[in-house]
C-alpha cells in the first residue's frame, strides 16, 4: 500500500508547470474577484451618503464626488435666490457638503413622525415576540401535553405561506375587528412568528434540563421558574431573536402597506418613503430622497455594527438548523 | 443528580401521576396560548378565509359579512386565470412569465456567486475576513425600499451606471434601465439579425394571450435591473450561510484528499460540493421562496410597468385586490402562487436535497 501511495504523493509535488502556474494565479484571481464584488456591494452606499449631502443640481454630476471637504453647510441658493451650479460645490471627487436634502425631507412632510412610528413598531413587536415566542418555544420543547407536536407542525407549516396570500384576508379580518389602520393592529399581527418560536424551541432543547428540575424540587412554580431560571439562560437565543425581529419590523413593507397604509400618520419609514416616491412621479428630488434613505438605514446600521457578531452567528445558526 | 432529584420530586407537592399530567397540560397550554391566539387570528383564520374568498366574486369594498356582498362562484376565478381567454388569463400568464424569468435568473446566480465568494473568504491565507463579511452582509439588513431607491438613483438615465459604462465604452448608447420594456433575449437576438419579422411564422402564434416571441424574449431590461438588485442584496446572506457550512468541514478531510493525490478542482468537486449539499438545498429553498414573492422592489421601482413587463404574481395579487377591487380573483392568484412555491420547493428537495445517489 505504502509503495502505491508514495509515488502518487510525489506526483503532486512535481506537477506540470501549467498546474503550478494555475496554483499561483488562482489566489490572485480569487482576491480580485472578492475585491470587485466587495466594491460593488459598498459603492452604492458610499454614493448614497455622499449625494444625500449635495445640492440637487450636483447630485448626478460626473464624476461622482464622494469625499467631503470644508467648508461644510453650503447653501444651495445664492443671495439672489438662484440655484448654485454643481461646479460651485464639487471639484473633481471632492465636494462641499450641504444639509439641504436633510432639511427638505425632515421639514416638508411627515418623516419625523414616521421615524417615531418605526421605533414604536420595532420595539413593541420585538418585546412581544421575545415574550410570546420564548413561552411557546418553551412549552413545545419542555412541557409534554396533548397536541404538542400537532401545534408545532401547524406553526412550522405557516412558515411556507407567502405573505401576499395572507395580505388580503388579514386586511379583511383586521377591518372587521376594527384594528385596521391602528398601531395595535399592526403590532399584534406581527406579535408572534413561527420562525421565532422555532428558534427558541431549538435552543431550549439544546440546554440541559437538570437546573429546571432542581428548581422544581425547591417548589418554584413554573412561571416563576421560567422567568427567573430559564429565560436568563436563553440570552444567546433571545439576542438573535431581538436582532431578527427588530430588523424585520423596521424594514417591514408589505404588511405595513396593507394594515397601516390607509392612514398617513401611521406609516413606518419604508412605507412613508415609498408613498412619497410614488407622489413625486418621474422627477424625484434625489438629494432629499437619499437623505431619507440614510435616515431610514442609520438606526439599523448602528445596531448592526454594535451587534455584528450576533447577526452573523444568528444567520449561521438558522442556516445550519435548516 | 438526576436520580436524586426524581426521588425527591414525588413527595413535594405532586401526589398522583394524574395530577402531574393535568398540571403539565395546563402549564403547556397556558404557555402556548398567547402565541397561539395570534397565530389563529392572524394566520390560520386568514388562510382558511383566503381559500373561501377565492371561490367568490367579492369586490373587497362591500362589507363582507352582509348578505349580497358577494356571490359564491366556485372555481370560476381559477378558470378565468388559467383557462379562459381574456384579460385575467393574459395578465396572469404575463406575471407568471416575468416571475419565472426572475426566479431562473436570480436563484442560480446568487447561489453560485455566494458559494464562490464563500470559498474565497474561507481560504486560510486571506486577511480581513471580517471586513469582507461586513461588506457583503450589510445590504441584507437594509430596507428593500431604501435599496430600491438607491438602485433607481444609480440606474436612472443620467445616473452613475450609465455614465460609468459610457466612460469605459465611448460608443455606448445610454440604456433606459428603469423604463425599457424590450426583452433581454429579444435584444441579443436582434444583434444577430433575428427579429420578430425574420423569426418565422411560429413566433406570432399566441399562447395564453401572449405571442410566442414574447414568451422567449426574456426578462425586460427593467426586470433585469430588479433582478440585479435582488441578487446584489441577497448574496451576502447566502454567502454567510455557505461560509458557516464550509467552516464546519474538518480540515483533515481535505488533507486526506490531497495526500491521496487529488488536485484542488477534484477536492472541490468531489468533497466540498457534496458536503455542502444540505446547505445548497437550504440556500436554494430560501432563494426560491423569496424570489417567487418579489413585491416591494416592483412596487417602488416600476409598479409593474413598462408594458407590464415587471408585473410579478405577488404584485398582480396586490393590484387586483387593492387597486382593481377584485378580491376573489386576487386571492385565487395568491393561492396559485402558494401552490407554485410549494411545488418548486418539493421538486428541488428531490433534486438537491434528499438522496445522495449520483455522487
CATH number, domain of A213, equals 1.10.3720.10
Q: At what angle do helices A286-306 and B144-155 cross, to 10 degrees?
A: 130
In this prediction, residue A39 carries a pLDDT of 93
CB contact under 8 A, B47 and A154: no
Per the domain annotation, does B234 fall within a domain?
A: yes
Name the residue facing B31 among A135, A163, A308 (closest C-beta).
A135
Q: Band of the pLDDT at A282, cuts 50, 70, 90?
A: low
CB contact under 8 A, A316 and B240: yes
Give the CATH number of the domain where residue B174 resides: 1.10.3720.10
Do A20 and A137 reside in the same domain of the chain? Answer: no
Residues A199-216: pLDDT tens digits? 899 888 888 888 777 777
Confirm if A144 and B28 have CB atoms less than 8 A apart. yes
Per the domain annotation, does B5 fall within a domain?
A: no
Q: Nearest residue of B to residue A133 by CA position?
A: B35
Do A117 and A35 reside in the same domain of the chain? Answer: no
Residues A157-191: pLDDT tens digits? 888 788 888 888 898 889 888 999 999 999 999 99
Distance in Å, alpha carbon of A312 to nearest chain B alpha carbon = 7
Q: Which residues share a beta bridge with B207?
A: B210
Per the domain annotation, does A7 fall within a domain?
A: no
CB contact under 8 A, B27 and A270: no
- Number of domain units in chain B: 1
Name the residue facing B39 among A8, A158, A308 (closest C-beta).
A158
Res. B111: pLDDT tops 80: yes
Do A149 and A27 reside in the same domain of the chain? Answer: no
Confirm if A267 and A249 have CB atoms less than 8 A apart. no
Q: A271-285, A290-304, B234-248, B305-319: which range is least confident on average?
A: A271-285
CB contact under 8 A, B235 and A8: no
What are the chain B neighbours of A189 within 8 Å (beta carbons)? 38, 42
- Number of domain units in chain A: 2
Q: Nearest residue of A to residue B314 by CA position?
A: A164
Q: Band of the pLDDT at A14, cuts 50, 70, 90?
A: low
d(CA B136, CA A37): 8
The residue with cell 389563529 is B40
Res. B35: pLDDT tops 70: yes
Res. A287: pLDDT tops 80: yes
Name the residue facing B38 among A165, A167, A191 (closest C-beta).
A191
Distance in Å, alpha carbon of A183 to nearest chain B alpha carbon = 15
Report the length, in residues, of chain A: 322
In this prediction, residue B233 carries a pLDDT of 95
The residue with cell 427593467 is B222
Do A189 and A309 reside in the same domain of the chain? Answer: yes
Range of the domain at B110: 90-183+218-353
Per the domain annotation, does A4 fall within a domain?
A: no
Closest C-alpha among A247, A254, A113 to residue A171: A254
A99, A115, A147 - which closes a domain: A99
Dump the DSSP string for A199-240: HHHHHHHHS-SHHHHHHHHTT--HHHHIIIIIHHHTHHHHHH
What is the DSSP secondary structure assignment for residue A58, as one 8-state letter?
G
d(CA A75, CA A321): 54
Confirm if A105 and A291 have CB atoms less than 8 A apart. yes
Res. A278: pLDDT tops 80: yes
CB contact under 8 A, B282 and A23: no
Per the domain annotation, does A149 fall within a domain?
A: yes
A83, A99, A115 - which closes a domain: A99
Q: Which range in A171-185, B8-22, B179-193, B223-237 is most confidently predicted, on average pLDDT?
A: B223-237
Name the residue facing A40 among B116, B232, B279 (closest C-beta).
B232
Closest C-alpha among A244, A253, A304 to residue A278: A253
Distance in Å, alpha carbon of A206 to nearest chain B alpha carbon = 17
Percent of chain B whose pLDDT exceeds 70: 94
Chain A with chain B: Cβ pairs closer than 8 A: 297
Res. B285: pLDDT tops 80: yes
Res. A87: pLDDT tops 90: no
In this prediction, residue B203 carries a pLDDT of 79
Q: Band of the pLDDT at A315, cuts 50, 70, 90?
A: low
Q: Using alpha carbons only, what angle is made at residue B136 by residues B133 and B139, rounded to the nearest 5 degrees? A: 130
CB contact under 8 A, B42 and A300: no
Per the domain annotation, does A268 fall within a domain?
A: yes
Q: Nearest residue of B to residue A155 by CA position?
A: B39
Q: Band of the pLDDT at A153, cuts 50, 70, 90?
A: confident
Do A211 and A78 reside in the same domain of the chain? Answer: no
In this prediction, residue B102 carries a pLDDT of 97
Range of the domain at A311: 105-321
Do A213 and A286 reside in the same domain of the chain? Answer: yes
Q: A124-133, A254-263, B210-219: which range is least confident on average?
A: B210-219
Residues B331-350: pLDDT tens digits? 999 999 999 998 988 888 88
How far, rounded to the nearest angstrom, does the alpha carbon of residue A278 sit from its chain's CA centroid? 23
d(CA B220, CA B183): 4
Distance in Å, alpha carbon of A311 to nearest chain B alpha carbon = 9
Res. A299: pLDDT tops 70: yes
Residues B139-186: pLDDT tens digits? 989 999 999 999 999 999 888 999 999 989 988 888 999 999 899 998
What is the DSSP secondary structure assignment for residue A85, as one 8-state letter?
P
A76, A99, A122 - which closes a domain: A99
Res. B356: pLDDT tops 50: no
Name the residue facing A312 among B119, B145, B240 (closest C-beta).
B240
Do A69 and A138 reside in the same domain of the chain? Answer: no
**What's the N-to-C CA distance of chain A in angstroms?**
41
Q: Using alpha carbons only, what angle is made at residue A108 by residues A103 and A112, rounded to the nearest 5 degrees? A: 75
Distance in Å, alpha carbon of B137 to nearest chain A alpha carbon = 9
In this prediction, residue A265 carries a pLDDT of 94
Res. A10: pLDDT tops 70: no
In this prediction, residue A19 carries a pLDDT of 76
Amino acid at each position: 500500500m505504502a509503495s502505491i501511495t508514495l509515488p502518487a504523493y510525489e506526483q503532486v509535488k512535481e506537477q506540470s508547470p501549467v498546474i503550478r502556474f494555475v496554483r499561483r494565479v488562482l489566489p490572485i484571481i480569487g482576491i480580485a474577484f472578492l475585491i470587485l464584488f466587495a466594491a460593488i456591494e459598498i459603492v452604492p452606499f458610499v454614493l448614497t451618503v455622499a449625494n444625500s449631502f449635495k445640492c440637487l443640481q450636483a447630485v448626478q454630476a460626473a464624476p461622482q464626488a464622494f469625499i467631503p471637504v470644508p467648508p461644510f453647510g453650503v447653501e444651495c441658493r445664492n443671495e439672489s435666490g438662484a440655484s448654485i451650479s454643481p461646479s460651485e460645490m464639487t471639484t473633481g471627487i471632492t465636494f462641499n457638503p450641504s444639509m439641504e436634502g436633510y432639511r427638505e425631507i425632515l421639514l416638508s412632510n411627515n418623516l419625523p413622525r414616521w421615524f417615531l412610528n418605526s421605533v414604536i413598531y420595532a420595539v413593541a413587536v420585538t418585546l412581544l415576540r421575545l415574550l410570546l415566542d420564548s413561552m411557546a418555544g418553551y412549552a413545545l420543547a419542555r412541557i409534554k401535553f396533548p397536541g404538542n407536536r400537532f401545534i408545532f407542525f401547524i406553526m412550522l407549516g405557516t412558515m411556507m405561506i407567502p405573505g401576499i396570500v395572507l395580505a388580503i384576508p388579514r386586511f379583511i379580518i383586521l377591518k372587521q375587528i376594527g384594528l385596521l389602520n391602528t398601531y395595535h393592529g399592526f403590532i399584534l399581527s406581527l406579535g408572534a412568528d413561527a420562525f421565532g418560536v422555532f428558534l427558541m424551541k431549538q435552543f431550549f432543547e439544546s440546554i440541559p434540563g437538570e437546573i429546571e428540575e432542581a428548581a422544581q424540587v425547591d417548589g418554584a412554580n413554573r412561571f416563576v421558574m421560567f422567568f427567573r431560571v430559564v429565560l436568563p439562560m436563553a440570552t444567546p437565543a433571545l439576542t438573535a431573536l431581538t436582532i431578527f425581529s427588530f430588523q424585520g419590523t423596521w424594514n417591514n413593507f408589505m404588511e405595513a402597506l396593507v394594515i397601516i397604509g390607509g392612514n398617513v400618520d401611521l406609516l413606518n419609514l419604508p412605507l412613508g418613503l415609498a408613498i412619497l416616491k410614488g407622489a413625486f412621479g418621474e422627477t424625484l428630488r434625489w438629494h432629499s430622497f437619499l437623505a431619507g434613505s440614510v435616515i431610514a438605514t442609520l438606526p439599523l446600521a448602528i445596531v448592526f455594527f454594535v451587534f455584528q457578531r450576533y447577526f452573523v452567528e444568528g444567520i449561521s445558526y438558522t442556516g445550519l438548523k435548516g | 443528580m438526576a436520580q436524586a432529584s426524581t426521588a425527591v420530586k414525588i413527595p413535594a407537592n405532586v401526589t398522583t401521576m394524574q395530577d402531574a399530567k393535568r398540571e403539565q397540560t395546563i402549564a403547556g397550554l397556558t404557555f402556548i396560548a398567547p402565541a397561539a391566539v395570534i397565530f389563529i387570528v392572524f394566520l390560520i383564520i386568514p388562510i382558511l378565509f383566503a381559500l373561501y374568498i377565492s371561490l367568490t366574486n367579492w369586490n373587497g369594498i362591500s362589507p363582507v359579512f352582509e348578505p349580497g356582498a358577494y356571490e359564491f362562484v366556485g372555481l370560476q376565478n381559477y378558470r378565468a386565470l388559467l383557462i379562459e381567454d381574456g384579460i385575467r388569463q393574459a395578465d396572469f400568464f404575463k406575471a407568471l412569465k416575468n416571475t419565472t424569468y426572475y426566479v431562473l435568473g436570480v436563484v442560480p446566480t446568487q447561489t453560485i456567486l455566494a458559494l464562490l465568494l464563500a470559498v474565497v473568504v474561507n481560504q486560510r491565507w486571506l486577511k480581513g475576513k471580517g471586513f469582507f463579511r461586513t461588506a457583503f452582509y450589510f445590504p441584507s439588513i437594509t430596507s428593500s425600499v431604501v435599496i430600491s431607491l438607491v438602485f433607481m438613483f444609480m440606474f436612472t438615465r443620467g445616473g452613475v451606471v450609465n455614465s460609468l459604462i459610457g466612460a469605459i465604452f465611448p460608443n455606448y448608447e445610454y440604456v433606459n434601465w428603469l423604463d425599457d420594456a424590450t426583452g433581454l433575449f429579444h435584444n441579443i437576438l436582434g444583434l444577430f439579425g433575428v427579429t420578430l419579422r425574420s423569426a418565422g411564422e411560429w413566433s406570432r402564434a399566441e399562447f395564453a394571450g401572449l405571442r410566442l416571441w414574447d414568451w422567449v424574449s426574456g426578462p425586460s431590461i427593467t426586470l433585469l435591473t430588479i433582478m440585479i438588485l435582488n441578487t446584489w442584496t441577497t448574496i451576502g446572506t447566502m454567502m454567510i450561510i455557505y461560509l458557516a457550512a464550509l467552516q464546519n468541514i474538518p480540515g483533515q478531510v481535505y488533507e486526506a484528499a490531497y495526500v491521496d493525490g487529488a488536485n484542488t478542482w477534484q477536492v472541490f468537486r468531489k468533497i466540498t460540493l457534496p458536503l455542502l449539499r444540505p446547505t445548497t438545498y437550504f440556500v436554494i429553498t430560501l432563494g426560491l421562496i423569496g424570489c417567487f414573492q418579489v413585491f416591494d422592489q416592483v412596487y417602488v421601482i416600476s409598479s409593474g410597468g413598462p408594458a407590464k413587463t415587471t408585473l410579478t404574481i405577488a404584485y398582480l395579487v396586490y393590484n387586483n385586490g387593492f387597486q382593481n377591487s377584485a378580491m376573489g380573483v386576487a386571492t385565487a392568484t395568491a393561492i396559485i402562487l402558494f401552490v407554485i412555491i410549494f411545488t418548486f420547493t418539493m421538486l428541488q428537495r428531490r433534486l438537491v436535497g434528499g438522496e445522495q445517489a449520483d455522487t
